[in-house]
Amino acid sequence: MSPNTAVQFKAQATRLAADLEHRQWIFKALRGYEAKRDECKARFQNWEGARQAAAEIKYDTLNHLDRYLEQFVHHLESRGARVHWAADARAAREIILDLARQNQVRFIIKSKSMTSEEIHLNEALEAGGFEVFESDLGEYIVQLRQEPPYHIVFPAMHLKRGQISEVFQQKLQAEPVTDPEALTMIARRVMRQKFCQADMGISGVNFGVAENGMISITENEGNARLTTALPRIHVALMGIEKLVRTMDDLALLLPMLATAGAGQWLTGYNTLYGGPRLAGESDGPEQFHVVLLDNGRTRLLADAEQRDVLHCIRCGACLNVCPIFRNVGGHTYGTTYQGPIGSVLTPHLRGLREWKHLSYASSLCGACTETCPVKIDLAHHLLHNRRNAVQAHPPFFERLAFAGFQVMMRHPALYRLGTTLARWLQPLHGLVQGTALDPARAWTRSREAPRLARESFHAWWKKHRRTTSPS
């Protein structure tokens, strides 16, 4: 099973990288994002300082995660919320399914949550006989198309208006309009009914605040508010790494998330949730559940070299600047989390053997590291993943090739001899160029091959300089 994910990735990447229309569409969308992001960054007095502070907040929180989680849970429970601990994806699904069964739930409405994608919650709920509706517009569109989100922040960014209209016509018998406003109205009409019908609302969590046990949710459409306020049961699914210490921490991280994520100063709605409706309160759910998900996170926490990957606030900025993502698109990854963060994280969540290829599908340009608002050194983590992959599953032929490389490079005489031989052989390359026998085919299919110089620098030096400056 191991090569399948890699083979699929390569095939899909090869296909999409050649799709000029797709390339231009994504590129244009992300150029727009870049302009807005830069504008927002400029409103920070000191963006670099803010990054440093954000990284330190996450560093401290994770260093004392046990203590902060305890504090968080204590505050939540004291207000009547129920907290559940899920060691892995299956446990989390079971907890949520049980809640739905015990409470005779029929309709479930869900606001956007990548953590729920990570545990494949929708499939599990549907298999359990429950109807689930996504209330976020982009998320709803990809749900109707029966595909996973394309991007962790912009799930439907790959679709043009016409395609959205098409799916609305097919699935909702809607009229053929392409005006964004009209399209939104179609979704809103459907959704309004669902909000009234739903008896359970499921949300993700952007941040949990330890000092007061509040949950922070960031959104732009107001749908999360309705998802969490209207149904009688609210279930919030939260990765345990989403914690911050104080409201002050939140005051820094919310604008950073908005800036890095969507190029917004602040997102449209930022809401704090603290528990079920209490006596005398006029709205809010009767039951409030928080499911705390581990699913590999404590294992990553124990990894001194890569634990800072847990700092991630899922802003998606690294995807946006990643030239690989821009060319292969989000679906190609075949993972919940795409782009650089996905390539670094997925091997931890789903196994190195099957997912190591993602760490190699990078030019290591470092744009991701440069942009990450919490300063995760993504590019170097990719290198670490590669090293770990080699240690765990040594690639035979590559090892052999590099063993030869190593011997040659450690022995200058061999290196000179090898390159001299290559000079003699080079004219023969023309005979096989472009054929299946061409050893440089992966290069020469799309690029002209460089030619070895007639005389190496070493040879030039020997001739012209050695006498004047011996070494």
Give the x/- contact pattern for other proteins in 359-378, rule: CB under 8 A: -xxxxxxxx-xx--------
Here the tokens at position 89 are 């994806």
Here the tokens at position 279 are 């006596």
Minimum Å distance from CB 251 to other proteins? Answer: 30
Q: Is 28 in the site for other proteins (CB under 8 A)?
A: no
* HSE value, Cβ hemisphere, 13 Å, CA-based, for 127: 9
Minimum Å distance from CB 52 to other proteins? Answer: 16
Minimum Å distance from CB 244 to ligand SF4? Answer: 13
The DSSP secondary-structure symbol of 46 reads -
Which of 331, 336, 341 lies closest to 293 in space, CA to CA?
Answer: 336
Positions 79 through 138 that interact with ligand SF4 (CB under 6 A)? none
Give the x/- contact pattern for ligand SF4 in 327-366, rule: CB under 6 A: --------------x-------------------------
Task: Identify the residue among 76, 324, 349, 378 touching other proteins (CB under 8 A).
Answer: 324
Residue number with CB closer to other proteins (78 or 363): 363
Single-letter amino acid code for the residue at 217: I
Task: Identify the residue among 13, 54, 95, 159 touching other proteins (CB under 8 A).
Answer: 13
Q: Is 372 in the site for ligand SF4 (CB under 6 A)?
A: yes
Cβ atoms within 10 Å, residue 359 = 23
Backbone Cα Rg of the chain: 26
Secondary element (H or E) of residue 288: strand 287-293
Here the tokens at position 107 are 């309709």
**Cα 203 to Cα 195: distance, rounded to the nearest angstrom:** 13
> 370 with 322: CB under 8 angstroms?
no
Residue number with CB closer to ligand SF4 (230 or 372): 372
Q: Which stretch binds other proteins (CB under 8 A): 15-23, 64-72, 211-219, 296-304?
A: 15-23
Here the tokens at position 95 are 């907890």
Q: Is 23 in the site for other proteins (CB under 8 A)?
A: yes
Q: Is 79 in the site for other proteins (CB under 8 A)?
A: no
Q: Is 465 in the site for other proteins (CB under 8 A)?
A: yes
Q: Is 313 in the site for ligand SF4 (CB under 6 A)?
A: yes
| Sign of the four-CA dihedral 433, 437, 441, 445 | positive
Here the tokens at position 75 are 């505050």
Minimum Å distance from CB 370 to ligand SF4? Answer: 10
Give the x/- contact pattern for other proteins in 230-269, rule: CB under 8 A: ----------------------------------------
């821009």: which residue's tokens? 326
**Cα 92 to Cα 238: distance, rounded to the nearest angstrom:** 10
Residue number with CB closer to ligand SF4 (50 or 81): 50
Chain mean position to CA 151: 7
Minimum Å distance from CB 461 to other proteins? Answer: 5
Minimum Å distance from CB 350 to ligand SF4? Answer: 17
Task: Identify the residue among 64, 79, 353, 386 touching other proteins (CB under 8 A).
Answer: 386
Q: Please name the residues in contact with 278: beta carbons below 8 A apart, sequence gap of 6 or more.
A: 79, 80, 284
Tell me the H-state helices in 119-246: 121-127, 137-144, 161-172, 180-197, 223-229
Phi-psi region of 280 (alpha: psi -120 to 50; beta: other; left: phi over 0): left
Single-letter amino acid code for the residue at 132: V
Which of 324, 405, 115, 357 lies closest to 240 in space, CA to CA?
Answer: 115
Q: Is 315 in the site for ligand SF4 (CB under 6 A)?
A: yes
Task: Identify the residue among 137, 230, 240, 312 touching ligand SF4 (CB under 6 A).
Answer: 312
Here the tokens at position 177 are 């309009």
CA-to-CA dists, residue 141 to 96, 233, 255, 310, 390, angstroms: 24, 25, 27, 29, 40
Choose from other proteins, ligand SF4, none: what does 317 bind? Cβ within 5-8 Å by kind: ligand SF4
Task: Identify the residue among 8, 28, 31, 129 touching other proteins (CB under 8 A).
Answer: 31
Q: Is 449 in the site for other proteins (CB under 8 A)?
A: yes
Task: Identify the residue among 100, 132, 198, 318 touching ligand SF4 (CB under 6 A).
Answer: 318
Counting residues that bind ligand SF4 (by CB under 6 A) gives: 15
- The per-residue b/e assignment along 216-240, b for 16 or more CB within 10 angstroms, e otherwise, is bbbbbbebbbbbbbbbbbbbbbbbb
Q: Which stretch binds other proteins (CB under 8 A): 44-52, 98-106, 335-343, 443-451?
A: 443-451
Q: Where does this chain bind other proteins (CB under 8 A)? A: 10, 13-14, 17-18, 23, 27, 31, 34, 323-324, 327-328, 360-367, 369-370, 379-380, 383, 385-390, 398-399, 402-403, 405-406, 408-410, 412, 415, 419, 422, 442-443, 445-453, 455-462, 465, 469, 471
Q: Where does this chain bind ligand SF4 (CB under 6 A)? A: 260, 312-318, 341, 371-374, 376, 378
